Structure 1
Amino acid sequence: MSQSLEGKIAAITGAASGIGLATTEALIAAGATVVMVDYDEAALAKEIARLGEKAVAQVTNLIDPDSCAAMVPEILKKVDHIDILYCNAGTYIGGDLVETDSATIDRMLNLNVNAVMKNVREVTPHMIERGTGDIVVTCSIAGHFPTYWEPVYSGSKWAITSFVQGMRRQMIPHGIRVAQVSPGPVISALLADWPKENLRKAKESGSLIEASEVADAVMYILTRDRTVTIRDMLVLPTNFDRV
């Protein structure tokens, strides 16, 4: 059974573009208010002006420890509560391990793993007190098999799969659902680091999906009856044949 999201309040990280923006648009269309979290203040201002009063700006740099720690408290000064936290922000590293450097690896792990864990930790006391809530995390198909052409990225998503599924079990007694969505390659800025030849072939073969199609999956997760948890949803381009 589908449940209404009318009047719900969501916070989405990485909300100024890509999957985060597409999900913001879908939630607002369903009657929710969305706190759009992003480090790009100019992009946020542009989207807030377009989306109207149901969109609320929250400028946060998730890889800055102080800014990350302040995110949930600052959101709760702008809205009464948080029904939904969607940890979507992330970055990508492709290619062989020796082709990257330690600073880039640190940045990826801080955003893809550490910030997610911190955001979830900060919101759970609030949701536990209310006895309800939804936490969704953007994982990846790369978090489900050894993706040899992007081992750093894949490793970060394997970590998130383990974290999300562990937290799902911890939160069951508190009425909080924890889930992840695991897309295949999505047409977004994250693919800017893909080898150009791989990207060209993927586009030509139809092996990429739109951000809106991932947003559709997130909406399905969020609108299930409270007695149902979609623990993970894999969303792949039909022609994606690498797994």
Structure 2
Amino acid sequence: MAETLNGKIAAVTGAASGIGLATTEALIAAGATVVMVDRDERALGEITARLGDRAIAQTTDLLDTESCAQMVPEILAKTGRIDILHCNAGTYIGGDLTESDTATIDRMLTLNVNVVMKNVRDVIPHMIERGSGDIVVTASVAGHMPIQWEPVYSGSKWAITCFVQTMRRQLNKHGIRVGQVSPGPVISALLADWPPERLQAAKDSGSLIEPSEVSDAVVYMLTRSRNVTIRDMIVLPTNFDI
């Protein structure tokens, strides 16, 4: 039997756009209240005004060490609990390794890997104390295979796949489910680094999916009965070929 999300409190990082926004909207439609975490304060204000009382803005710069460390305490001060944490914020680098400067590599690895680990670490004591919780991480199909045109991005997602699956084993005895959703290419700002001809070819061939198709998978994962964990859901465009 499916679990209800009515009354649940969720926190979604990178919530002002793309998969994060789509997941926020889907969770609210399913009955949850969502704390929308993003650094774009203006966008959060506009979106929460549109979505209503069950959308709560949380302005956090995950790349700032202190701001990142305060994220979970500030959410708990607003809501009292966190039932669901969706670590979704991330960035993308494509192309040959020599085409990426080291500062950009550092930024991406910090956001895609370190921040996820820190956010999960910070929410664990709260969820263990309550004896329940769900942690979902936006990974990628790139975390399952070496994709030659995005070595830095693929490397970050391989790291996250390992982290998610080790944490799943650590936390399941505490009543906390940990899983990941691994999309193929999604129509979003993260594909801005793709060569224009490749992006257009992917659009023309139907090799991209919408953020809402990823959020559908997240809601499915969260609504399974508590004796079921979806450890990883790979969501691909039907015509995606790698």
Report the TM-score range of the alignment, normalised by the length of the smaller protein: over 0.9
Give the deviation of 1:195 after TM superposition. 1.0
State how far apart, in whole Å, the 2-side matches of 1:149 and 1:197 are. Answer: 14
State how far apart, in whole Å, the 1-side matches of 2:71 and 2:25 are. Answer: 21
Give the deviation of 1:178 after TM superposition. 0.2
- Give the structure 1 partner of residue 101 of structure 2: 101
1:238 is the counterpart of 2:238: yes
- Give the structure 1 partner of residue 154 of structure 2: 154
- Give the structure 1 partner of residue 224 of structure 2: 224
State how far apart, in whole Å, the 1-side matches of 2:182 and 2:215 are. Answer: 11
- Give the structure 2 partner of residue 118 of structure 1: 118
- Give the structure 1 partner of residue 209 of structure 2: 209
- Give the structure 2 partner of residue 165 of structure 1: 165
Helix, strand or coil at the partner of 1:50: helix
State how far apart, in whole Å, the 1-side matches of 2:150 and 2:120 are. Answer: 26
- Give the structure 2 partner of residue 134 of structure 1: 134
Deviation track 1:148-204 (CA, whole Å, cap 9, x = no partner) reads: 100000000000000000000000110000000000000001001111111011000
TM-score for the superposition, normalised by structure 2: 0.99
**Partner AA of 2:3 in structure 1:** Q
Give the deviation of 1:51 after TM superposition. 0.2
State how far apart, in whole Å, the 2-side matches of 1:182 and 1:31 are. Answer: 24
State how far apart, in whole Å, the 2-side matches of 1:122 and 1:66 are. Answer: 13
- Give the structure 1 partner of residue 144 of structure 2: 144
**Partner AA of 2:156 in structure 1:** S
State how far apart, in whole Å, the 2-side matches of 1:11 and 1:188 are. Answer: 21
TM-score for the superposition, normalised by structure 1: 0.99
1:47 is the counterpart of 2:20: no
Helix, strand or coil at the partner of 1:73: helix
Give the deviation of 1:116 after TM superposition. 0.2
Give the deviation of 1:100 after TM superposition. 0.5
State how far apart, in whole Å, the 1-side matches of 2:150 and 2:102 are. Answer: 15
State how far apart, in whole Å, the 1-side matches of 2:234 and 2:217 are. Answer: 9
**Partner AA of 1:186 in structure 2:** V
- Give the structure 2 partner of residue 70 of structure 1: 70
State how far apart, in whole Å, the 2-side matches of 1:31 and 1:207 are. Answer: 32
Task: Give ranges in structure 2 of 5+ residues lacking alignment.
Answer: none
Give the deviation of 1:224 after TM superposition. 0.2
State how far apart, in whole Å, the 2-side matches of 1:196 and 1:152 are. Answer: 20
- Paired residues in the alignment total 242
State how far apart, in whole Å, the 2-side matches of 1:197 and 1:64 are. Answer: 35
Give the deviation of 1:32 after TM superposition. 0.5
- Give the structure 1 partner of residue 14 of structure 2: 14
State how far apart, in whole Å, the 2-side matches of 1:69 and 1:198 are. Answer: 38
State how far apart, in whole Å, the 2-side matches of 1:198 and 1:66 are. Answer: 39
- Give the structure 2 partner of residue 26 of structure 1: 26
| Equivalent residue runs for 1:175-214 within 5 Å | 175-214=175-214
1:61 is the counterpart of 2:64: no
